Every structure is written in C-alpha cells, then in structure tokens.
C-alpha cells in the first residue's frame, strides 16, 4: 500500500498549486542583538561540514556577502553550487532582516565521475523568501531564528517536504551555529 501511495499521490496532485512551506530553526546566542546582527548580514567562510548529509552532494552554505545596506541591498548567500541572490525587503536593525530569493543554485551536485547537469535539479525546489529574526532575551542573550519559505514543483508534496524540511533545518543549523560562534568570539564584519 505504501509503495502505491507515492505514485498515486503524484498523479492526484499534478494539477494542484504548490503550497508555500516555512521552516524555522532557532538558536540562543550569548551576545547582544547588535553583535549578532553584524554576523547575520554577512559572514566569513564556514568550516567544511562534518555532517554526512553534506557529503552526499547536497549543497551547503560557505559564506554570505552583501552589496549595500538597508532595503534594496542585495545579499548573496553562497553555496557549494552557486549563490542565492537575496534582495533585502525588510532591514530593521538589529531585529529583522527579511529578503526575497530571485536566483538560486542547484540544490545538489550529482555524485558522478562525469560533470552532469541534471534537469531534475532545476526548478523543482524553489526558495522564495527568507528572514533572520533577532529577539533580545532577559539574560542578555539573543534568540536568533532563521526562516526559509519554499515550495516544490514535484509531487507528491508530502514526501518531498519531509526531505526538504530536514535538509533546510540542517542548513539553518550550520549557518546559525557559525553566527553563534562568530558572535560569541567577537568576530564581526565591518558592517
């Protein structure tokens, strides 16, 4: 029955509009919001991942840069397969950085002896928006929440959402841990 459900759901869902999904990951950081903000807007090179999931070819973030400040600035969250191009839509320093996603790289690189540009890696997972929300805590720390809004152009959506949510949480955890380490160690960019 389970084996039949996936193709059956794909057939049933083929004409339905994709649903926008939100994935939220949070971390507490032992630093004030202003320090954390500087590490959210852009951050230096991350260490190589140790997580198995990123050894399988799934793209992972390497660093982030920004051109300009305020609404209209363009942030580039760089991954191993290319860059997410993120025009800033809300710049509420040091509380909320929100952005659209106007370009995104392939979600993974096929593990192969040849350089394969597989069509199924393009436009099936679509990231639309993201944000970082910073909340000051009574103990002087900052709660940092990262959110990604995305949809699929592949069915069955419930099946692919399980995988995508897990992978996005892993990506968020990687970035949030990096921001935490830099903020707690006093490492910031020039912004």
Geometric angle at alpha carbon 79, from 27 and 95, rounded to 5°: 35
In which residue ranges of the chain is pLDDT below 70?
Answer: 1-16, 107-123, 155, 187-191
Task: Say how far apart CA 105 and CA 116 lie, in whole Å.
Answer: 14
Q: How many CB atoms lie within 10 A of CB 142?
A: 25
The pLDDT score that the predictor gives to residue 106 is: 83
41-64 pLDDT per residue, tens: 999 999 999 999 898 888 999 999
Q: What is the pLDDT of residue 79?
A: 96
What integer pLDDT is reported at residue 112 of this predicted model? 55
Between CA 184 and CA 28 the distance in angstroms is 11
Longest dimension (CA), the chain: 57
Query: What's residue 47's pLDDT?
Result: 93
Dihedral angle, C-alpha 54, 117, 101, 38, nearest 10 °: 40
Strand, helix or coil at 24?
A: strand
Instruction: Report pTM.
Output: 0.83
């Amino acid at each position: 029955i389970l084996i039949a459900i996936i193709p059956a759901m794909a057939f049933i869902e083929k004409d339905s509009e994709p649903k926008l999904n939100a994935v939220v990951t949070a971390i507490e950081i032992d630093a004030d919001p202003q320090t954390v903000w500087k590490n959210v807007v852009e951050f230096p090179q991350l260490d190589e991942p140790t997580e198995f999931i990123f050894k399988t070819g799934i793209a992972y973030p390497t660093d982030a840069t920004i051109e300009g400040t305020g609404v209209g600035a363009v942030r580039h969250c760089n991954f191993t397969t290319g860059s997410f191009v993120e025009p800033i839509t809300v710049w509420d320093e040091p509380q909320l950085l929100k952005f659209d996603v106007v370009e995104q790289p392939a979600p993974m690189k096929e593990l192969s002896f040849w350089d394969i540009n597989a069509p199924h890696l393009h436009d099936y997972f679509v990231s639309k928006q993201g944000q970082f929300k910073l909340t000051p805590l009574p103990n002087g720390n900052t709660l940092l929440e990262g959110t990604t809004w995305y949809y699929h152009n592949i069915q069955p959506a419930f099946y692919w959402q399980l995988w995508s949510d897990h992978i996005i949480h892993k990506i968020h955890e990687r970035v949030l841990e990096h921001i935490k380490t830099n903020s707690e160690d006093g490492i910031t960019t020039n912004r």
